[in-house]
Amino acid sequence: MIQLIEGHATYGPAMKEAARGKELLILDYHTHGRGTGYCVSIAKKKHTPLRILGQAEPLVELVHIKGVGEDESQCDELMGALGRELVQHYPLQLLPVVYLNGQPRQAPHERS
């Protein structure tokens, strides 16, 4: 998957820039509807001065890859593996945060 990202005209440079900027990456494992399978968006948070007023920082998509998984149950395994590969390839300082359908994913030990 990293080879596909690197070879893409916009995704490759966007990922390199985010890595150089030491951005915390977000892997959003998501679906576009029933029966469509799962995609991953690799994103970073857009820094905004409104954050001090309590507003959330919007996500800026760097990469979007379709056909990554078949169902929600694959999220932890697939995004964990992708996160480790990204850390190794781009030397990121932090493991990416995993989201599921646009919401932060709780670690397995945090789920009830």
pLDDT in tens, 5-49: 999 999 999 999 999 999 999 999 999 888 789 999 999 987 665
pLDDT at 41: 97
Q: How far apart are CA 10 and CA 54, in angstroms?
A: 32
By C-alpha distance, which of 63, 75, 57 is closest to 18? 63
Tokens of 63: 């990469």
Q: How far apart are CA 97 and CA 93, in angstroms?
A: 12
Banded pLDDT at 54 (limits 50, 70, 90)? low
Tokens of 16: 């390199």
Instruction: Describe the chain by its helix, strand, coil percentages, rounded to 5.
Output: 40, 30, 35
pLDDT at 45: 85
What burial class does residue 86 get, using C-beta atoms within 10 Å of its C-beta: 0-12 exposed, 13-18 middle, 19+ buried? buried
Give pTM, 2 decimals. Answer: 0.83
Q: How far apart are CA 7 and CA 77, in angstroms?
A: 25
pLDDT in tens, 67-104: 999 999 999 999 999 999 999 999 898 999 999 999 99
C-beta separation of 96 from 41 below 8 A: no
